[in-house]
Structure 1
Amino acid sequence: MAIADIQEYLKLIPAVNRAPQHAVWLTYDDEADTLYVNFKKPSYATDSELTDEDVIVRYEDDAVIGFTVLHASKRIKKTA
């Protein structure tokens, strides 16, 4: 299967480079409209917090190991 517009995926490079361990795993759940972002696999959170922006930040001790974006499709900019 070919990727239609690889340029969009190439925009992820700076974010991956800034991420802990220079690794990012993304999973989108269409039914739940939720994006899961992990910086560590496997990731076992010891704590989490819900932000005012409906993002759940997950921690392992003091380190951020990922976050969950609720209502993900509503955050996409509509383009013509």
Structure 2
Amino acid sequence: MAIADIQEYLKLIPAVNRAPQHAVWLTYDAEADTLYVNYKKPSHATDSEMTDDDVIVRYEGEEIIGFTVLHASKRLKKTA
């Protein structure tokens, strides 16, 4: 059973490899149904923008330091 769970995480390797600084921190808030993705810790956003599909992209200066995915669980049904 544990090997199947590990296989899901191994699918993240290409995304981590493409990420700035080759690092990604993920946090899911079930109550808010929000996924937080950070490329930098600590991160201090100086600006942000909302996309048409309810994703908030966060910037520190000109650099993207992460994004916030609203309504995260609803997206699983679309991609599953």
Q: Same-fold call, TM > 0.5?
A: yes
The alignment-based identity, stated in percent, is 86
Where structure 1 has 5 or more consecutive residues not aligned to the other structure, the ranges are none
1:8 match? 8
Aligned residues: 78
After TM superposition, which residue ranges in structure 1, 4 or more long, deviate above 3 angstroms?
none
| RMSD of Structure 2 on Structure 1 (CA) | 1.5
Give the CA deviation at 1:76: 0.4
Q: Which runs of 5+ in 2 are unaligned?
A: none
Higher helix share: 2
Residue by residue over 1:22-56, the C-alpha shift from the partner in whole angstroms, topping out at 9 and shown as x without a partner, is 00000000000000000000000000000000000
TM-score by length of 1: 0.91
TM-score (norm 2): 0.91
Distance 1:34 1:13 in 2: 22
What pairs with 1:1-80 in structure 2 (closer than 5 Å)?
Answer: 5-77=5-77
Partner SS state of residue 28, structure 2: strand
Q: Give 3-state SS (helix, strand or coil) of 1:53's partner.
A: coil
Give the partner amino acid of 2:42: P
- 2:26 and 2:7 map into 1 onto residues whose CA distance is 17
CA shift for structure 1 position 5: 1.3
What code does the residue aligned with 1:35 have?
L
Q: Deviations over 1:8-32 (max 9, x none)?
A: 0000000000000000000000000
